[in-house]
Amino acid sequence: MKILVVNAGSSSLKYQLINMDTREVIAKGLCERIGIEGSLLKYKPAGKDAVEVKKNMKDHTDAIQMVLDILADKEVGVLGSMNEIDAVGHRIVHGGEKFSKSVLIDDDMIKVIEELTPLAPLHNPANLMGVRACKAIMPDTPMVAVFDTAFHQTMPYEAFLYGLPYEAYKELMIRRYGFHGTSHSYVSKRAAAMLGMPAEKTKIITCHLGNGSSITAVDGGKSVDTSMGFTPLEGVPMGTRCGCMDPAIVTYLMEKLNMDAKQVDTYMNKKSGVFGISGVSSDFRDLDDAAKEGNERAKFALDVFAYNVKKYIGAYAAVMNGVDAIVFTAGIGENDRNMREKILTGLDYLGVDVDFEYNRTAPRGQEVTISKANSRVKVFVIPTDEEMVIASDTANIVFGK
Ligand code: ADP
Chain-wide mean pLDDT for the chain?
A: 96
More confident: 122 or 242:
242
Q: How many CA atoms lie within 13 A of 248 on its CB side?
A: 0
Query: Does 104 have pLDDT greater than 80?
Result: yes
Give the residue, out of 215, 269, 280, 283, with the most ligand 1 atoms within 8 A of its beta carbon, to mutate for a pocket test.
Answer: 283
Overall average pLDDT of the 109-127 stretch: 91
The confidence score (pLDDT) of residue 349 equals 96
- Position 265 confidence tier, pLDDT thresholds 50, 70, 90: very high
**pLDDT (average), residues 258-282:** 96
Residue 110 and residue 95: Cα distance in Å, rounded?
11
**DSSP symbols for 29-40:** EEEESTTSSS-E
Say how many C-beta atoms besides its own lie within 10 A of residue 74's C-beta.
6
pLDDT (average), residues 113-121 = 91
Residue 190 C-alpha to ligand 1 middle, in angstroms? Answer: 21
CB 314 within 8 A of CB 296: no
> Does position 133 have pLDDT exceeding 90, yes or no?
yes
Residue 197 gets which letter from DSSP? S
- pLDDT tier at 131 (50, 70, 90 boundaries)? very high
Binding pocket residue ranges, ligand 1, CB within 6 Å: 210-212, 239, 283-285, 330-332, 335-336
Report how far residue 89's alpha carbon sits from residue 105's, in angstroms, rounded to the nearest whole number: 9
What is the distance between the alpha carbons of residues 360 and 125, in angstroms, rounded to a whole number?
A: 42
Of how many residues is the chain composed? 401
Rounded CA separation 292/87 (Å): 48
DSSP 363: P
Residue 342's pLDDT is what? 98
For residue 145, pLDDT over 90 is answered with yes
Question: Mutation test of ligand 1: which of 16, 30, 184, 211 has the most ligand atoms closer than 8 Å to its C-beta?
Answer: 211
What does the pLDDT read at residue 121?
A: 85
- 4 CA to centre of ligand 1 in angstroms: 25
Give the atom of ligand 1 at the shortest distance from the alpha carbon of 339.
25
The whole-number average pLDDT for the span 238-253 is 97
Q: Is 381 strand, coil or helix?
A: strand
368 DSSP β-pair partners: 381
Average the pLDDT over 378-385 and give the result: 97
What phi and psi values does residue 138 have, to the nearest 5 degrees?
Answer: -130, 65
Q: In angstroms, what is the span from residue 65 Cα to ligand 1's centroid?
A: 30
* Active site (catalytic) residues: 148
What is the mean pLDDT of the segment spanning 158-165? 98
Whole-prediction pTM: 0.94
Looking at residue 10, what is its pLDDT? 87
| Dist CA 273 CA 224 (whole Å) | 26
Look at ligand 1, atom 21, and give the residue with the nearest C-alpha. Answer: 335
pLDDT tens digits for range 15-64: 999 999 999 999 999 999 999 999 999 999 999 999 999 999 999 999 99
Give dist(CA 41, CA 60) in Å, integer: 12
**Residue 142: per-residue pLDDT:** 97
Render pLDDT for 358-375 as a digit per residue (tens, 0 to 9).
999 999 999 999 999 999
Kindly tell me if the per-residue pLDDT of 401 is higher than 80.
Answer: no
